[in-house]
Structure 1
Amino acid sequence: MTEKAKGGGRTRRAVLFGGLGALAVGALAAQDEIRRAWWLLPGVSKPRKEGDVDSPGVSWTAASPANWRLADRPDDYRVDRIVVHVTQGDFASSVGAFQNPFHKASAHYIVRQDGHVEQMVRELDIAFHAGNRSMNERSVGIEHEGFIDRPQDFTDALYAASARLAADICRRYGIPVDRQHVLGHSEVPGADHTDPGPHWDWDRYLRMVREELARTAPPAKAG
């Protein structure tokens, strides 16, 4: 009998190597699950310091602990999305809302119309921003000061600051700059919100994020 198995075109060698490949993939997946399980254990937590921020040039104000959940991302939950929000209020009232323990919501960042960026939840942790537990666990939420029906609220400074922030997040987590991975709150499954609304210029925003990534890309290694 030849090396081909009866009744099929695959050889025993192909079956063997296919099985070994599946075992290797399974072993890598198991290692990932073991690492994730370690970071999910009670009492296991990365060192952190009050006031630390995750992106250069941003300021820190802590959201109420009632409005986010302690985590150790990306080791316990993979980060592969950015969710774009609009505050439907001014900057000060939005900061105050996230500090209010009865609000039950927060975002990692708020971008002001003049380009100032305030971080309120560490990227390590899970902000309650998307109205969807799975999306909260896998995403960074960026709020933008303004109202969805007022296109003048989306200033050049706001777009520029948000694009710099989003590019930094995408670089650190390897998030592709496309509409599958950078999405609006209204596009989150199960969401009942309409932000960022029809006046948010997605083409402009993603172009600016890509330009920031290209501008700040590390130099290629010689040889």
Structure 2
Amino acid sequence: MPRRVVLATHNPHKVEEFAAIVRATRPDLEVVGYDGPEPVEDGVTFAQNALIKARAAALHTGLPALADDSGICIDVLGGSPGVFSAYWAGHAKDASANLSLLLDQLSDVADPHRTAQFVSTIALVVPAVDGGAAAEHVVEGRWPGRLALAPSGENGFGYDPIFIPDGQPGGAERSAAEFSPAEKNASSHRARAFVALVPLLSTLSV
């Protein structure tokens, strides 16, 4: 029976994406969604927020917990929205409003200055038998690119429709929302972070 690992998010898109990434390298692990209370994410870095979520999920479930804190960092905005990506247009976490506000803020910024990167920080917290944390690890992945002038594509979520990843075959200029799920899972910021996480998952024996 696969060893279960809880992903500390109520976002079904993230659960699906993580499960596919994990399945490709560790089919013996089963990623399950988290149904417990959400902790207050009051960290000021991706790593701090990822650890807050992973610790809460591990404590609530007793399972090894993964948590991803991610966002888009735009060079001309000094790295913002960053950790505030999900709340850029307010605490309603309205992805469409976030995207529209960001495009409006950058409406006069020329293409050479629209460079950005998606950042994913993944925390792994393995609970101890006494309820504390036996081990904690944090890894990071970055996906460089730039922002389009308008959204395109039906796949993905969040800022994917306006993010054009660097290094596409043949010089293509597709948004992340135009990537197939398999393409995205092979090259995204989460996939890159997971590459660094794989050796740490070896401690989770079936």
TM-score range normalised by the length of the shorter chain: under 0.3
Larger Rg: 1
- Name the TM-score, length of structure 1 as normaliser: 0.24
- Name the TM-score, length of structure 2 as normaliser: 0.25
